[in-house]
C-alpha cells in the first residue's frame, strides 16, 4: 500500500457541500496570477480529476484487500495479488501507478528533491495516460510552467487532500467530486464570459432538454458536446428515476482540443464510458461516428451547437443535406440536418438554436425549414426567455424533433401532422443582473406539457391530460404552420394568456411587452445585417 499523506496544517474541510465548493474555488482562485483563464481552468480541473481517480483507486484497493483477507490469505499473498490490474479496470476503475497516487503527491506537495510539485504532477498525468489507453492525450501536463505558482499549487493540493471525497462508497465519492467539477465548470464559464459558452451550457437549459426527451436507454449523441454536460444530466436523470445508468451508450464529438479533454475528464469522474472519438474534430469536416445512421442511429440527441457560424466546412454534395444545402454564411440548418441524419426511426432530439432559425428565409433556409416541417419531423418548439445564457445576448429557442409521432413511439397519442408550441418566455428568475435560470417548477411545467401532449408513460403516471393553454401552449397542425409561411415562433400560435382583468397589473404587462420588443429588435438587427451583406455582394 502507498504511504499515508502527512497531516496538513490546512483547517478541516468545510462541513457542507456549498462551503466545500466555495472554499475550493477561493483556494483555486489564488492560482490565477499571470495565467490566462483557459490554462488556469485546466490546472484546477486537472487536479480535481487526479484527486477523483486516485480516491477511486484507493477505495477499490481497500475492497480487494478486504476480499483477499476474507479468503484467508496472509499478508504476503495479499501483497502479491493486490496489484492485479484487471481487478481495477474490470470494475471501471483506472489503474494508478504508485508515483501518480494522491497520497504520494500530497506527501510531496512542496516538491521532492530537485523536482517541483508541478513536475511531479506532470509526471503523474503522463503515467496515468500510459497505463490507461482510454485517457491517451487527454490529461493536461501544464503544472510545471513558469506561470504556475508552485507554492500555491502545493497549497491547493493540501486543501484538496483535506476535502475527503471517499469513505462513503465509491459512488458517493463520484457524486461529490462530480458536483465540485460541475461547479468549477460553471464558475469558469461565467469568468470567461462569451468564450465560456463554448464549453458550458447552462444547467437550466440542459435540464429542459433532458426532462422533455426522457432518455432511458439506447444511444445518446451530442455532435458538439462541449464539456459533456448533456451526458452528465442524462446520467442524473437515470439516477433520479432509478434507472440503470449503464442502459445508455454515450457518443459525442467536440471541435476544441482543450474542451474535448475537459469532457473526457468530466465523464470519467461521473463514471460514464463515453465514445468521444479518438481525437477532437470538426463534425462537418469529419464525422467521427459514421456508424450512427439509419436503424443504427441515435435514440436520443441533445445538442447546443454554436449559433450562426459563418465559416464552416461546407460541401454541397454532403449526403446530410437531405432537405437542402445550407447557406455558406450560416451553419444553423447544417446542424439541424446533421442531427436529423443521425436520428434512428423512432428517435427524438432536442437542439438549442438562435431565434432567427424559426423565421429566416435567407440563403434558402426558409425552404429547408418548410421541407423539415412537411416531413413531420418537428415535434415541439419552445421559446425561451432572454438572459439564460450569460455568454450571449442572442435570444434562443429549443427545437424538438421526432422520427415518428404515431401512438406507441414515445407516447400513446398519435400526434402525426401536429407540432406543439410552448412559450416559456415569462418563466424563470434572475440569478443576478446578468443571468436568468429556471426553477424546478418551470422545467416541470414545460416537460409536463410535452408529455401530456404525447401521452407518455410519465404523463399517465402523473394523471396529466393535455389542453391548449392560451399564452403558454398550443398544438398546431402542419396546415396552420404552412398558412403562416412555416414560421415557427411560438408566440404566433399560443396567443395571449386569458385574464379576468384585461387591465391587469400594468407593471407586469409592460415588462412582458418590453421583453418581446427587445426580442423583435434583436431579430430585426440580425436581419438588417444579413441584408447589408447580401447587398454588398450584389454590388461587389
Sheet of 378-383: strands edge to edge? 274-275, 248-252, 218-222, 298-303, 343-354, 396-402, 378-383, 418-423, 473-477
Q: What are the domain boundaries of the chain?
A: 17-188, 199-494, 507-540
Cα 525 to Cα 67, 356, 394, 522, 532, distances in angstroms: 67, 11, 11, 5, 11
The C-alpha cell at 41 is 481552468
Q: Where are the beta strands (DSSP E) in 403-494?
A: 418-423, 429-430, 436-437, 473-477
CATH for 199-494, among 3.40.50.920, 3.40.50.150, 3.40.50.720, 2.60.120.1030? 3.40.50.150
- CATH class of the 17-188 domain in this structure: mainly alpha
pTM: 0.80
Short-list 411, 415, 482, CA closest to 451: 411
Each residue's pLDDT, cut to its tens digit, for the chain (540 residues) gives 333 334 333 334 444 677 777 777 777 777 776 666 667 788 888 888 898 889 889 889 999 999 998 998 888 888 888 999 999 988 888 999 999 999 999 999 999 999 999 999 999 999 999 999 888 888 999 999 988 889 889 988 888 887 665 545 445 555 666 777 777 777 777 776 555 455 578 889 999 999 999 999 999 999 999 888 899 889 889 988 888 888 899 999 999 888 898 888 888 878 788 899 989 999 999 999 999 999 999 999 999 999 899 989 999 999 999 999 999 999 999 999 999 999 999 999 999 999 999 999 999 999 999 999 999 999 999 999 998 887 667 789 999 999 999 998 789 999 999 999 999 999 999 988 878 999 999 999 999 999 999 999 999 999 999 999 999 999 999 999 999 999 999 999 998 765 433 334 455 556 656 666 776 776 677 777 767 766 666 666
Q: What is d(CA 259, CA 38) in angstroms, rounded to the nearest whole number?
A: 10
DSSP codes joined into one string, 65-92: HHHHHHTT--HHHHHHHTT-HHHHHTTT
Q: What is d(CA 300, CA 211) in angstroms, rounded to the nearest whole number?
A: 12
The helix (run of H) or strand (run of E) holding residue 113 is none
Amino acid at each position: 500500500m502507498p504511504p499515508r499523506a502527512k497531516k496538513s496544517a490546512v483547517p478541516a474541510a468545510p462541513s457542507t457541500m456549498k462551503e466545500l465548493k466555495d472554499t475550493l474555488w477561493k483556494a483555486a482562485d489564488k492560482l490565477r496570477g499571470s495565467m490566462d483563464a483557459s490554462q488556469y481552468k485546466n490546472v484546477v480541473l486537472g487536479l480535481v480529476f487526479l484527486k477523483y481517480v486516485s480516491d477511486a483507486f484507493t477505495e477499490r484497493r481497500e475492497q480487494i484487500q478486504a476480499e483477499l483477507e476474507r479468503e484467508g490469505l496472509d499478508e504476503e499473498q495479499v501483497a502479491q495479488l493486490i496489484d492485479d490490474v484487471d481487478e481495477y479496470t474490470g470494475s471501471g476503475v483506472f489503474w494508478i501507478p504508485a508515483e501518480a497516487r494522491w497520497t504520494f503527491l500530497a506527501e510531496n506537495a512542496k516538491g521532492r528533491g530537485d523536482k517541483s510539485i508541478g513536475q511531479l504532477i506532470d509526471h503523474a498525468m503522463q503515467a496515468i495516460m500510459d497505463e490507461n489507453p482510454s485517457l491517451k492525450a487527454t490529461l493536461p501536463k501544464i503544472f510545471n510552467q513558469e506561470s504556475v505558482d508552485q507554492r500555491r499549487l502545493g497549497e491547493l493540493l493540501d486543501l484538496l487532500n483535506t476535502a475527503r471525497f471517499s469513505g462513503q462508497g465509491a459512488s458517493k465519492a463520484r457524486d461529490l467530486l462530480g458536483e465540485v467539477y460541475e461547479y468549477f465548470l460553471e464558475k469558469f464559464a461565467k469568468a470567461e464570459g462569451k468564450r465560456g459558452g463554448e464549453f458550458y451550457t447552462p444547467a437550466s437549459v440542459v435540464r429542459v432538454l433532458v426532462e422533455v426527451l426522457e432518455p432511458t436507454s439506447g444511444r445518446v449523441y451530442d455532435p458538439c458536446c462541449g464539456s459533456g454536460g448533456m451526458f452528465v444530466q442524462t446520467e442524473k436523470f437515470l439516477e433520479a428515476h432509478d434507472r440503470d445508468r449503464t442502459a445508455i451508450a454515450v457518443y459525442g464529438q467536440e471541435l476544441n482540443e482543450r474542451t474535448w479533454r475537459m469532457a473526457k475528464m468530466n465523464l470519467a469522474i461521473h463514471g460514464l464510458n463515453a465514445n468521444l472519438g479518438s481525437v477532437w474534430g470538426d463534425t462537418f469536416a469529419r464525422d467521427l461516428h459514421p456508424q450512427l445512421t439509419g436503424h443504427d442511429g441515435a435514440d436520443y440527441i441533445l445538442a447546443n451547437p454554436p449559433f450562426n457560424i459563418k465559416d464552416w466546412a461546407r460541401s454541397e454534395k454532403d449526403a446530410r443535406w437531405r432537405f437542402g444545402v445550407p447557406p455558406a454564411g450560416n451553419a444553423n440548418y447544417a446542424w439541424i440536418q446533421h442531427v436529423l441524419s443521425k436520428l434512428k426511426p423512432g428517435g427524438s432530439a432536442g437542439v438549442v438554436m438562435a431565434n432567427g432559425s424559426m423565421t429566416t428565409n435567407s440563403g434558402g433556409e426558409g425552404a429547408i425549414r418548410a421541407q423539415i416541417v412537411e416531413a413531420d419531423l418537428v415535434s415541439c418548439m419552445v421559446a425561451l426567455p432572454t438572459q439564460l445564457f450569460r455568454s450571449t445576448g442572442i435570444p434562443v429557442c429549443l427545437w424538438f424533433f421526432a422520427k415518428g409521432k404515431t401512438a406507441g413511439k414515445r407516447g400513446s397519442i398519435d400526434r402525426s401532422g401536429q407540432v406543439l408550441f410552448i412559450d416559456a418566455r415569462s418563466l424563470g428568475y434572475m440569478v443576478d443582473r446578468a443571468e436568468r435560470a429556471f426553477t424546478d417548477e418551470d422545467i416541470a411545467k414545460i416537460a409536463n406539457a410535452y408529455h401530456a401532449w404525447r401521452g407518455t408513460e410519465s404523463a399517465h403516471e402523473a394523471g396529466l391530460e393535455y389542453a391548449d393553454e392560451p399564452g403558454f401552449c398550443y398544438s398546431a397542425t402542419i396546415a396552420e404552420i404552412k398558412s403562416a409561411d412555416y414560421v415557427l415562433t411560438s408566440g404566433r400560435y399560443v396567443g395571449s394568456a386569458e385574464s379576468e382583468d384585461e387591465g391587469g397589473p400594468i407593471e407586469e404587462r409592460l415588462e412582458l411587452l418590453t421583453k418581446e420588443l427587445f426580442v423583435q429588435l434583436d431579430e430585426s438587427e440580425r436581419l438588417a445585417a444579413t441584408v447589408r451583406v447580401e447587398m454588398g455582394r450584389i454590388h461587389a
